[in-house]
Chain A
Amino acid sequence: MNKAKNTILSATGLVWAAIVLAPFFLVVINAAKTSAEIVISPISLPSSFSQFLTNLNNVINNQNFSFWTSFGASLLITLVTLVLLILFSSMAAWVLVRNKTWWSTLIFMMFVASMVIPFQVVMLPLLSVFRSLQSATGIKFLQSFGGLIFAYLGFGGAMSIFILHGFVKGIPLELEEAASIDGCTKAGIFFRTIFPLLQPVQVTVIILNGIWIWNDFLLPSLMLGLNGRTKTLPVAVTAFVGSFVKQWDLILAAAFLAMVPIIILFIFAQKYIIGGMVQGAIK
């Protein structure tokens, strides 16, 4: 490629990068202004850094947003779901691959087919199913983290099993036979030989589900309620915006806080995050 062409192309690329990143820049500079300053000049740089801290402080301690509580809730729900999902879906994928019977095919096909189902068609009856379970068993499903994690396992399972299934198929059966001869029980074979081998594809499953659960709004808003005591971050942002008459300084400070954790994660795990999201889409 000649030099002039290279320069033109990289300049074009930089212009688009500036357009893509500009909204983030605008969030940062305006989260550091007072409402009045935003009205006067929303594109100028902020005059003082202390206003940034004041805004963040106001937002963090706001009752509707309560950053640390919602951040903690989001983190807890995401992490617990991911741990359980990785464990359970690896177990299920392994059983489904190693059994060549009509029922294993049926269950697998059911999971695959269910990936077509949009959330909207099950969300309303889901609430009533959870309500019935709640009154029948006494276990709290709605307005509870446990219930939300349970639902995420149900919704995330199909895709995870599908991805893991493809990978388990490639693991030679001889490996399991060898372990079996060495005296491993069936469960032992899975935990000692199969589960560790699944690691590369488990990263894909973690990224794909992690980004989705972290950013998901509709399910937690329906199950925890927009005005519930505890909220996840996206729900908290919505509740916060709803409680103010467009106080942009504070709304942008809240948006900033909601964006920061995942951007920090991206800086450190860029390769895995992009790889995971792309692999998940292709499969």
Chain B
Amino acid sequence: MGAKGLLIILAILAVATLVYFLAPKGKKRDGVVQALFLAPMVVTFAITVGIPLVVGVFYSLTDWNGLSFKNFVGLGNYIKIFSQNDYVYSLLITMGFTVVNVIAVNVLAFLLALLGASDVRFSKFFRAAYFVPNLIGGIVLGYVWQFIFNKIFTLAFPVSMLTDPNLAIGAIIIVSVWQYSGYIMMIYITGLQSVPKDVLEASGIDGASGLRTLFSIKMPMIANTFTVCLFLTLVNSFKQFDLNFALTAGAPARILAGKAIQSTEFLALNIYNTAIAKSNYALGQSKAVVFFVILAAVSLTQVYFSKKTEVEM
């Protein structure tokens, strides 16, 4: 840190203290305290999220190169990205991956939750064990699974899944389900445990079978948990980056309309590669804005659905 920087920080602290002690005791000083209490979070938020968001949307309308921009190009970047095969392909496979991943993770997680919430022997151990992969970041897990696909599975199969354009997406789904289902399972368990015991006893006395209780009592009663889990997996699948980056890095290439493109490059990785690897900041930023709009739409849908289920309950 330079001397100038240190001076600025000290000056800010000095002004804050001065304002505090100069303010007359009572209401005024309380106001100063409140402002000082809010300041750290508001300032860091404004600088890291607020300003970059506004500036970012603006940059997406220019020929920004990461440092400066010369021309305002209007919607030119947006028209350009949607005319690029690799981007449209990336958008489509990300959506496909998201759909398959959401279904696979939730089906498995719900089944595991039934097991983990039951009084089966070892159920406590199961919960902890299934959760473990969520502690480790996608980067490290990606490299570990690259080893497993290339060195372990090849003992049984002639070629690695990671070298085939279609199977490589399957490989990402396998790892993602393996990692994420334990986490979603815990949320379903929390939901299942919130179903009141007396309701379950009543259905038992009425002679309902285990499956009947599951479908007619437990599942409707945890409708909210389903909404939470579905949207959580939806958003996280759509944002998948770390695993994608470490496991396949977009490879292998596939030929589409006479051009070679990366077959497993999901949107987040496509944005990263466009901006960082190819230094095309304006295009990368435009892709990121589209990414944001899609995610915002998904979140608004979630709010709508949660409100709806709340009303029905």
Contact = CB atoms under 8 A, between A and B. Distances in A.
Interface of A: 1, 6-7, 9-10, 12-14, 16-17, 19-21, 23-24, 26-27, 30, 38, 42-43, 84, 88-89, 91-92, 94-96, 99, 107, 110-111, 114, 116-118, 120-129, 131, 133, 137-140, 144, 146, 150-151, 153-155, 157-158, 161, 185-187, 190, 211, 214-218, 222, 234, 237-238, 241, 248, 251-252, 255, 258-259, 262-263, 266, 270, 273-274, 277-278, 281-282
A122 B34 contact: no
14 contacts: A13-B123, A17-B122, A17-B129, A23-B133, A88-B41, A89-B41, A91-B40, A116-B295, A120-B268, A122-B52, A129-B48, A187-B37, A238-B246, A278-B187
A158 B152 CA distance: 43
Nearest to B224: A282
Nearest to A18: B129
B2 A26 contact: no
Given A114-B49, A187-B33, A274-B131, A252 B115 contact: no
B250 interface: no
Interface of B: 1-5, 8-9, 29-30, 33-34, 37-38, 40-42, 44-53, 55-56, 59, 66-67, 112, 115, 118-123, 125-141, 143-145, 147-148, 151-152, 155, 178, 182-183, 186-187, 190, 228, 232, 239, 241-242, 245-246, 268, 271-272, 275-276, 281, 284-285, 288-289, 291-292, 295-296, 299
Residue from A30, A88, A153, A154 whose CB has the most chain B CB atoms within 10 Å? A154
Contacts of A150: 44, 47-48
Contact of B292 (A99, A117, A154, A282): A117
A96 B271 contact: no
Nearest to A127: B66
Nearest to A259: B136
Given A120-B271, A137-B5, A248-B147, A274 B186 contact: yes
A262 B135 contact: yes
Nearest to A146: B1
A94 to B, nearest CB: 7
B91 to A, nearest CB: 14
A216 B37 contact: no
B187 A17 contact: no
A107 B50 CA distance: 12
A184 B147 CA distance: 61
B140 A154 contact: no
A255 B144 CA distance: 7
Nearest to A215: B137
A21 B228 contact: no
A21 B131 CA distance: 10
Given A10-B120, A138-B8, A218 B143 contact: no
Contact of A116 (B56, B276, B296): B296
Contacts of B271: 120
B291 A129 contact: no
Contacts of B45: 111, 114, 154, 157-158
Contacts of B145: 23
Given A122-B56, A150-B48, A237 B148 contact: no
A121 B130 contact: no
A21 B122 CA distance: 15
B135 A266 contact: yes
Contacts of A94: 37
A193 to B, nearest CB: 15
Contacts of B186: 274, 277-278
Given A20-B133, A116-B296, A238 B40 contact: no
A278 B190 contact: yes
Contacts of A278: 186-187, 190
A224 to B, nearest CB: 14
B49 A129 contact: no
Contacts of A43: 152, 155
A157 B122 CA distance: 38
Contact of A23 (B2, B59, B144): B144
A274 B59 contact: no
B48 A122 contact: yes
A237 B143 contact: yes
Contact of B118 (A1, A89, A107, A127): A1
Contacts of B129: 17, 20-21
A100 to B, nearest CB: 13
Residue from B143, B145, B151 whose CB has the most chain A CB atoms within 10 Å? B143
